[in-house]
Amino acid sequence: MLWDKLRRRPRPDAEPNPPTIAASHPSSYSHEIELALIAAVYSAAGGEDEPAADPLTVRVVVDRWHRHRAGKPADSLSHISSLDDHAFCRVLDDRTRLGGRPRSCVIQDAADRLLEAGISCAADLAADPLRASRQLEQVRGLEARAIGQLFQLLELPHSTAA
């Protein structure tokens, strides 16, 4: 019985849970392209029968990815792209749709497109925003307003920023 209590006791050197995204990122995701992409896609209106998620839902979904990444900087699209569709959807734990597709698939397609163009982090996107925009426009379900939202969340200028 004592052994069970000792096993369950957290180690003093164990890292505590990362802070919630609301605490660590008040209104933008500057230099964290993964979080910005997730927030931009979840903020987008999906159409007549697919409303945009409310801001709290967006924060919750972004926080799930933030916790999955154990609070580490989320500035490499390869982390999103490396998971299969089902695993990524399970991490986000959300089944909403955008343009008739699961939002998680739209996010992964956008990450794949950017990676194909040599854009893997926020600095790469800032260095060539026009190429990034062109790649993102090719993603089915991702509209100009969501692309503008991505740039806005990364604190970068863009012509279609919402």
Structure confidence by residue, pLDDT tens digits, 23-68: 555 567 889 999 999 999 999 987 666 666 788 889 999 999 999 9
Which residues have CB under 8 Å from 3's CB, separation 6+?
A: none
How much is the pLDDT for 47?
67
The rounded radius of gyration (Å) of the Cα atoms in the chain is: 17
pLDDT at residue 94 greater than cutoff 90? no
The CATH number that domain 27-153 falls under is 1.10.340
How many whole angstroms separate alpha carbon 146 and alpha carbon 37?
9
In this prediction, residue 162 has a pLDDT band, given cuts at 50, 70 and 90, of very low
| C-alpha dihedral sign at 131, 133, 134, 138 | positive
Q: Which residue has the higher pLDDT, 134 or 158?
A: 134
What pTM did the predictor assign?
0.82
The distance from CA 8 to its chain's CA centroid, rounded to whole angstroms, is: 33
The average confidence (pLDDT) of the chain is 85
Task: Give me 63's structure tokens.
Answer: 């926080």
Number of alpha carbons in the 13 Å side-chain half-sphere of residue 8: 5
Q: If you search the block for the tokens 């279609």, which residue do you land on?
A: 160
Number of alpha carbons in the 13 Å side-chain half-sphere of residue 62: 33
